[in-house]
Structure formats: structure tokens, C-alpha cells
Amino acid sequence: MSPATFEQTVAALARRDGHTILRSGGGSRDLGADVITTAPDGRRVVLQCKHRQGGRGKVGSPDMQTLNGTARPEHMADIVVAVTNGTFTKPASDFARNHDIGLLDCSRLQRWATWGEPLLAVLGIGEAGRKDVGTGWWSPA
């Protein structure tokens, strides 16, 4: 799967969950937003896709810092998500946790894509936008 196809797949999964797609496909000048949606409850979701060849690479903290610096101020995100078919480094995970960035690594992506679990449920985000205790990416692994 190419990076562009990965972005299109993420957009298709969001659409399946009832999101309205505002942007699908980023590029080098996307300012940290490959897919922008409006969730069924009206919240704006910004997803940054990080495709790794063969799913073997890790997404690092610099990518999280860039996403954090643009998703809310540039794209007016209510929910910020980094999606990869690989994994995240510990510094990236720590940064994301501290800055309320949802992480979908290969295992959570599989829950979303293959098992049909909705994006916000995979992230552990309840309908009121609060973190669900004991679920989601911010729970200890």
C-alpha cells in the first residue's frame, strides 16, 4: 500500500463510521492534516497518517510535535489523531499523552479497520469527548 492509498483508506474508514470527510489526502504542505473530518457528533477530527513500509517503522516525537503545533491552531481540531501501520516510539507516545493526541498504531488500526470498531471507541473517547477510564490509548499498556 502506498502512503496515498493509506490516507485514502483512513478516510474511507472514517466515512464508514459516519464522519463527513472535509479533506482526504495531504501531501508535503498539508500542515499536519492528511484527513480532516466532522464526527457524527459535530467534533472536528484531524488525522495525520504515517505510512511505514511493511509496517516495520516507528513514528517519532518530532512528528507528534509537528502535529501538535498545527492540528488545533491551523485546522481547528477538537480531536487530534496520529495513525500508522507501524508503531510509535516511547517519546512519541509520551508526548502524545501529554498533549491529548490520539494514537492508532498497527494493533489499534486493525481494531478499527478489520473488526469494525468505530474510531472514537478505539481511541477511548466517549460521546462527551472525555477520556474513558480504563480504555483507549492513554491507558497504561
Domain ranges of the chain: 3-123
Helix (H) or strand (E) holding 83: strand 79-84
Whose cell is 484531524? That residue is: 46
Which one is predicted more confidently, 129 or 61? 61
pLDDT tier for residue 1 given thresholds of 50, 70 and 90:
confident
Residue 28's pLDDT is what? 63
CB 116 within 8 A of CB 83: no
Residue 92: which residues within 8 A CB-CB, separation 6 or more?
A: 58, 59, 60, 61, 63, 64, 82, 103
Residue 138's pLDDT is what? 39
pTM above 0.75, yes or no: yes
Provide the percentage of residues in the chain whose pLDDT is more than 90: 70
Fold of 3-123: Trna Endonuclease; Chain: A, domain 1 (3.40.1350)
Least confident of 59-68, 83-92, 122-131: 122-131
